[in-house]
Each structure stands twice: as C-alpha cells, then as structure tokens.
Amino acid sequence: MIVTRFAPSPNGPLHLGHAWSAIVAHDLAREAGGRFLLRIEDIDGARSRPELADEFRRDLEWLGLEWEEVPAQSTRLASYEAAAQRLLAEGLLYPCTCTRAEIMALEPKIGPEGAIYPGTCRNWRVDPEKPAALRLDMHAAMERVGKLTWEDDEAGVQVADPREFGDVVLVRKDAPASYHLAATLDDAADGVTLVTRGTDLFFASHIHRLLQAMLGLPVPRWHHHRLLLDPDGRKLAKSRQSGELGHGLAERRAGGEDGRALAERLRMGQMPGGITLSRFPHGAA
Ligand SMILES: [Zn+2]
C-alpha cells in the first residue's frame, strides 16, 4: 500500500507550486491504489494563521483531489517532546542559546540550509536562564547509527550523509520541534510509505533518514519532484507574494478558473504564465 501526503503550513496562501506538489503526491498514491493524506503543519506559532487551513481544503477540492485528513501538527506536541527527551537522555542533543547574530559573527561555513552551526555550545553548560534550542550532535549521532542508505524513486539509492548540515536544530527556541523532527515523526505516525516533496528538500532526506534510525522509525521511500519556477527562474514562494503575480490558488479559484482543468494542464506539463519546471531533477533547485 502506497501512502503519500501533502503537508502545507498555514502561514500563507497556496500557490501553483503547492498545487503541483499536491497533485504529484495525490497521483502517485491513486495510481497505485493507495492513500493520499492531508496534514496541516501548524506549529510555526507566530506565523500560523489557522483560518488558512480551510482555504487549503477548498483549494484541493477545486483541483479535483480527494484526500484523508490526519491530525494537524499542533495536536502532536507530546510526540515531539517524547522524541526530544529520548535523544537528550541518550546524549545526542545539547542545548544551544546562541542567537543568529552570534552565530553569524563567527563567520560560519554555509551549508545546504544556510549557516552551519560552529558548535559553540556543544562542550559547555549554557546559561539556564536563556532560551535554548536543542541541537543534534551530528558526529555522535552518525557514530551511533553507522552507515545508512535511503532510496529516491528516480535518483536511486543514496548513502545518507547529513554531516554537511552540521548540528541541526531539532527543537526550536520558538516552536516545539524543527521541521526535520516534526515531519519525520509525523510521516512515521501517519504510515507514509512514499515521502514526496520538492527537489529543494532532497538533502534534508539525509537528516530524516538519520532521525529514523535514531528513533527506531520505519523507513519510507522518497520521491523528490521538480519545482515550478517563475519567469526569472526562481522557485515560486509565498514570500515573493506570488498571489500578486497571479499564482495564488485562492485568487484563481475566486476568479472563476476551472481548477480540474488547471490540474490536468499541470499534469501534462503545460505550465501557465511563463512558469517552467526546474531542469535538474535532483539536488539542485
Ligand atoms: Zn549555541
């Protein structure tokens, strides 16, 4: 049984890139007689706008997709806490009170997710009065689990090597879990067997494979799909106010467009409005 999911965050309206991502996940499940799940990733406290989740459901319906909805992330905080406590007790996490400015002042190397944490807090006790994130001791974690592999539908078998991310944050100062921890735990809890997402997150799968090994979770397969690029060759993004460029789904829906017809065109690779699919199938956006 193939189980896929679409997992949007309600911090901005969905755009054509999300439609593409949802359609890919939906169709991979449907073609295999499997299940397609919707999960709202709403633990980004300050930026979360709960009313958007209803808009997302209307968008998916408009595109002609059918789904089963699983509980939103905000209902799963106990599982994130339990996993973090377990890794902390095993000595694989450590508290970090560094601010972004303090990290940048050390002129860190830049990795796939931005600055690589220079490890400042790894070896001493931090001030318990300061807000702390929990970081993964990447070296200790890799020693613990040994060699790991994971498999992408198209890129094939990958040797998991998350070291270039450095000591990633698993519990944020301002949220109960990082994307890496929450998404990995949720996909396991929801029985997702085929993790679908854009190639921009290809390297994150190295981290997720490591977390699965550390937490004793089942290992899915992955399908990283190409990205929709705007006419300037940049990934469509909420932060670029894609709604203003006519890429927003709610806006197109309100304008009377036929969502099912749009979904069919996307499936056939007929991208609207100067949008193209990224060329590089894996790793590079
Ligand atoms: Zn620190």
**What is the 60 CA–ligand 1 centroid distance (Å)?**
41
Segment 145-166 shows an average pLDDT of: 94
| Beta-carbon-side half-sphere exposure of residue 246 (alpha carbons within 13 Å) | 9
**What is the 216 CA–ligand 1 centroid distance (Å)?**
27
- Residue 130 a catalytic site member: no
Which H or E run contains 5? strand 3-6
**What is the 121 CA–ligand 1 centroid distance (Å)?**
4
User: Helices in 96-220 by DSSP H: which ranges?
Assistant: 100-105, 138-145, 179-189, 204-215
Estimate to the nearest angstrom the gap between the alpha carbon of 216 and the chain centroid: 20
Q: Which of 109, 147, 173, 238 is catalytic?
A: 238
Please state whether the predicted TM-score (pTM) of the whole model is above 0.95: no
Architecture of domain 77-148+160-179: 3-Layer(aba) Sandwich (3.40)
pLDDT at 193 over 60: yes
Q: Where are the domains of the chain?
A: 3-75+226-277, 77-148+160-179
- What is the predicted pLDDT for the residue at 285? 38
The model's confidence at residue 284, banded by pLDDT at 50, 70 and 90, is: very low
**What is the 167 CA–ligand 1 centroid distance (Å)?**
10
- What is the predicted pLDDT for the residue at 112? 80
- CATH superfamily of the domain spanning 3-75+226-277: HUPs (3.40.50.620)
Residues whose CB is under 5 A from ligand 1 (ion)? 96, 98, 120-121
- 3-75+226-277 and 77-148+160-179 share one fold: yes
Strand duo 3-6 + 68-69: pairing: unpaired
Estimate to the nearest angstrom the gap between the alpha carbon of 57 and the chain centroid: 19
Segment 161-183 shows an average pLDDT of: 93
**What is the 168 CA–ligand 1 centroid distance (Å)?**
11
